[in-house]
Structures are given as structure tokens and as C-alpha cells.
Structure 1
């Protein structure tokens, strides 16, 4: 493929993927920066152990999933399942952990078992989203930033113990302080956090501006209508598991979030998984999501290369 089309597809003809990665590592990394994602197809991967080896060859040791926003299960070491959400639900396009001060620069997806129908990992260029959105919308976010507010409890959403991988309130408070997250401990062993982040970043290699944030993904309006209305009735806006605002706390208008979702979808591309497909994504250049699916879909995921750009 040419230009910035994604993903770039590299076909192996049944050869071992580790041999290809070792021999062409520099060119693969260049292609990842140009295209935003590279799909290895028809290679002998060698299961989860081979997948882990590819991650280490291209990026070094995979990362622990910290400050979680979705449930995952460990497959082996720091290789996880993709998000454990019901198969009938869509997961909207987003950039992994873009709400954090430090995020993984490279993501890896490995198809252990393809779905029967749909179940793709759609991709959207963050350069295209940035460049095609209404300049006034973009400039408003650049001026004000964006804020994520999260509530952690055992009854709804994820508990703070799950998210921060600890039973210690002091450890959570210290982590949040070091990472620019405001904490508010509430009755009933609940925690509320607020973090203000930039909406537009510059890629550390290309220098290109990219739309890199969770402002749309975490916004209450992105949820299906029935879920959205049920949560608002149950919790009220203040106690939602997550929601987003402008960085000064101002409400993001519905027409703005509608426009942002439309820009993501306009930029998105998809492919049907085949067994042993291995997808590598530059997390700052391409957002990703998940289609609803039927069948046994099992995708292994790893994250690597911590970065603050």
C-alpha cells in the first residue's frame, strides 16, 4: 500500500515470523511510522510464546496493564486477552491509555481464534481525524484541554483495587499525585479521580499533530442510548463510571461529540481476522476499536514502549 493507508499487509507464505522480524526490524519500524499499523498474515507465529517473542524483538519487554479502564484477563506474563466485554457490544475507537501521563507507544494484537462474523479491530488514522475535523472544534480543545472524571466502586464499573492493582489507598494516592491525577476518597470505599490532559499531541518521530485522547470514548453520549439513560438514572452524572469535559470542567456539547464520532468513523478501516494474524499498531498514529461479533473470537494483546511523547 502507498501513502498513509493502514494497515500495511506483510504476507509470510508460511515462514516463521520471528525470522522475518529479526531480518527486517528496521524496515518494519519505518513502515509502522509511515502507515500507523502493520498486519503480518500467513506466518508461522508459534502461539502465545511466539507472539511474546515478536513483541520483544520489535519493542522489548511487554508492559503491565496499569491504571486500567477495561476488564482483561492474563493469558501469560504480560500478554492479556482483549477487552472482556459482551460480544454484542461495540467498543468505540480510541488510543490505548491516552488518558494517562505515560502510555504504550506500540500495541500488538494476535488472533488465536477468529470470530464467526464481524469482530474486526477497526483502525482510524489520528492524523486524518485531526486534519479533517472542524478547526473550531479542534482549537477549542487545544485551548481548554480535556478532563476525564472516573468513579471506582464495587457495585458499578471497576473498583480502584482492580484499576490500580493494589489494596493500598496510599499507593493509589501516590501514583495519582506523580501522574497528574486528582484523587477524592468518598464514603463506601469509593474513589473519584480527575485528570486534565491535552487533546492534540505531536508524534515523537514524525512531529505530525495527532488527535490523541479519550475525550470521545469516555463521554457518556458515546454509550448506546439504553445504557446511557440507565446509568444516568442510576448514578446521576456526578457518579458515572467515566465521563469527559473540557479541561476547565465545562460541558462538551452534544453536537461536538457527534462531530468527533463521525470523524473517527469516516477515517476508519477494517479487515476480517484470520487465525495467526498479528497486528502491530503505533498507538499515537492509529486508534482502534472492536466490532460486535459472533463465535469464539480470542485475541491476545500486548502493550510496549512506555512514552509521554
Structure 2
């Protein structure tokens, strides 16, 4: 079996930050040329040292540039083989994700959705099936879709993926196919650090969240409610066939909802216009499996920012405490303020791949100047071997995998 060599390299350049004593990942073997993933530094706007509870000196994102011996050209098949081999070495990349929250891969020969799909699948994770999707994500390649097709002036603030439903992915891959000149960055921030700061600064809010969780209500309509949004059929209608009557459609949609396996903690109601209002009681604080540390798994700050910035966009989701009482806006504002202080904005270069551990890191999307098509980012979502457990009280405080069926 192949191993990998760890060659130590140091950085200490002040404004641009990179973790000291980072290791390059290099495979041994007869195949030539072997690919090396070499750490490199980024501007401070794009990379930072994480605060507590992360180990001191931990950076995010961990930036890795692909290179080959004697500056030989890099072949995608060799890059994929390298990723698979590294993962075979005790899941080294998965462990780095759990530590840093986000990895950036640069210098790979990824040019389209098919290339990206092959690279993402090389990590060995199980593709994530989205139940209850709220955005339109047409498939472009195996387990690859547009990241978000909302208009360019819409702010998508930092959040954990699928935090509004019980079934969420553990790993999120983004590929930058086209980058705008101004704006369009992807934010990166730590859910672990957000919880730590909130516990220190607004402990009464954290305690209430632990006890009550959140009540997340999402409205699904027959037609899309905003540009880039999903329809009811896209969210739950995978079994609906041409010619099904309304009773049959509703039964098939409800069968998909029941795959969450949440019992009384997921409820729904139908409206006169055949819209669906789906309500979940969920934990906003969960546990990182590798460390047992509590982590904010939430879109509360994004919910607050969307109401402030995207006033013309129709609200399709509502966030309350788990008992149905309103969350004071001062707490949502405080979460956003912490997030602003601890996040960086990834400036895309064509071909970049960002990989997020969805338990550890939050992501989003900044508005951009120019045309809608100036920014093209593809996404691929995966499950891991485990999911973050509940950090709270009662059966409601559990994250579940969707039931097979």
C-alpha cells in the first residue's frame, strides 16, 4: 500500500496568514509524476487563524496547491488517484476537514461539471439525497448541481447547509467555474467558534436554545416563489407521475416527508391553494462527532441578514424558538455581529475547489457586480460516516439520516 510523505514547511508573513508547521501531502510509489498538495498562504481577507475552541494556530481555509515533480503537467486521473490514496491513509483529508473546517484546492485540471464530479467522488463519501430542497438545483453531472441560482444582488449570509430540515449533508464541495471581477466571494466561518463566542457573550440565549431548540417553518408552493427557488414538486415530488390526481400527489409528498423519521417533531398542513407549510422542531446546537464539542448548526444569522438585505425577496421560511415563541432580534443581530468578526471571504479563481465540513464551517454567497452569468459555482453534497448528534434535551435534539425508501 502506498504511503504519503510529510515534508515540513514554515510560513510567517504577518498579514497573510498560514499555519506554521503545515505538512505537504505527497504519495510514494512508482507512478510518475506523483502529485503533491502543498500548503500556501492567502491574504488575510481570505484566511485567518481560528479562535477558541480550535487548537491554537489552526487556520481556515487550509489552502493546498497541486503540483507535480519537475513542474510536470497535472493529470486529473492522477489527482483523483492521489485523493483516494490519501483517504485510504486513515482518512487524512477527512481529519483535516474536521480540524480546519474548510479546505481549498487550487491548481487542479478541473474544467467542467463532469471533472468536478469525479474529483468530489474520490473522497469516498456517500452522495447526499436532498429532501425538502428550497432552491432549484438541476443536475449537471453525477451529484453535481448549481450552487445557487438566486439573482446576483441577493445576499446569502453564513449558514450551515440544510440546517432548516432534519437531514443534512456532512460535506459540501464547491467548484468555481467562473468568477466575477468584483464580489461574489464565498464566506467561510467556524460554527465551533461561533458557539464559543455566543456562550461567552450571550449565555442566556444559548441556554434557551439548548432547552427549546428552534421551530423552522418552510412554505412550499406549486410554483417557485422567487428566482432560483424550488417548487413543491422539486422538493418532495420525486415519485409523482404524469396523470396523478391531487390526492395521490399529496400522499406521495407526505411519504417523502415521513422519510425524515421525526414523528411528532415534524408536522405539516395543506392550504387551500395546495401549498404546503412544513414545520420542524430542531436543535440549533449540535455536537462535532470527532471532538464532542458543541457547534452552532444554524441559519439564524442568515435569516436575520436576509430580512435586512433582501427586503424585496419573499420570505419562505420562519425561525422561532422550539416552543413557538419569537427569538428576540437582538440575539440574531449579535450572532451576525460575531459572524462578521470571525469570517473571511474566499475570492474565487477559476478551477478552485472549496470543501466544507458542514458541522464545523458555515458558508454563503456575496452579491457581485456585472452580469448574472459572471459567477458560476457548482455544488456537490455528501454524507459522512456519522452525523452530528443533538446537544440539548429530548428526542427532538437529534439529527437523523433520511430513512431508506
1:155-189 superposed Cα distances (whole Å, 9 cap, x missing partner): 63543212223442112222323423201011011
What is the CA-CA distance between 1:288 and the residue it aligns to? 0.2
Greater shift, 15-24 or 279-288, is seen at 15-24
Distance 2:58 2:211 in 1: 28
Distance 1:99 1:108 in 2: 19
Larger Rg over CA atoms: 2
Match of 1:18 among 73, 80, 85: 80
Instruction: Spell out the pairing of 1:166-185 with structure 2 (5 A cutoff).
Output: 166=238, 167=240, 168-179=249-260, 180=262, 181-185=266-270
Distance 2:164 2:350 in 1: 32
- The reply to whether residue 276 of structure 1 matches residue 371 of structure 2 is no
Q: Which residue is equivalent to 1:234? A: none
Distance 1:112 1:46 in 2: 7
TM normalised by structure 1 equals 0.89
What is the CA-CA distance between 1:61 and the residue it aligns to? 4.5
Answer yes or no: is the 8 Å Cα contact 2:218–2:277 preserved in 1: yes
Q: Which residue is equivalent to 1:257? A: 332
- The reply to whether residue 144 of structure 1 matches residue 212 of structure 2 is yes
Answer yes or no: is the 8 Å Cα contact 1:73–1:81 preserved in 2: yes
Which structure 1 segments of 5+ residues have no match?
Answer: 232-239
Instruction: Spell out the pairing of 1:31-110 with structure 2 (5 A cutoff).
Output: 31-110=96-175
Distance 1:172 1:299 in 2: 30
Secondary structure in 1 aligned to 2:127?
coil
TM normalised by structure 2 equals 0.69
Answer yes or no: is the 8 Å Cα contact 2:218–2:318 preserved in 1: yes
Answer yes or no: is the 8 Å Cα contact 2:188–2:346 preserved in 1: no
Q: C-alpha root-mean-square deviation of aligned residues, in Å? A: 2.1
Secondary structure in 1 aligned to 2:136?
coil
What is the CA-CA distance between 1:110 and the residue it aligns to? 0.6
Greater shift, 147-156 or 105-114, is seen at 147-156
User: Structure 1 residues 87 and 64 mapped into 2: Cα distance closer, same or farther (>3 Å)?
Assistant: same
What is the CA-CA distance between 1:284 and the residue it aligns to? 0.6
Answer yes or no: is the 8 Å Cα contact 2:158–2:299 preserved in 1: no
User: Structure 1 residues 177 and 65 mapped into 2: Cα distance closer, same or farther (>3 Å)?
Assistant: closer
Which structure 2 segments of 5+ residues have no match?
Answer: 1-17, 20-56, 68-72, 241-248, 389-405
Tell me which protein shows more helix as a share of its residues.
1
Q: Which residue is equivalent to 2:376? A: 298
Answer yes or no: is the 8 Å Cα contact 1:66–1:165 preserved in 2: no
Distance 1:30 1:185 in 2: 44
- The reply to whether residue 5 of structure 1 matches residue 59 of structure 2 is yes
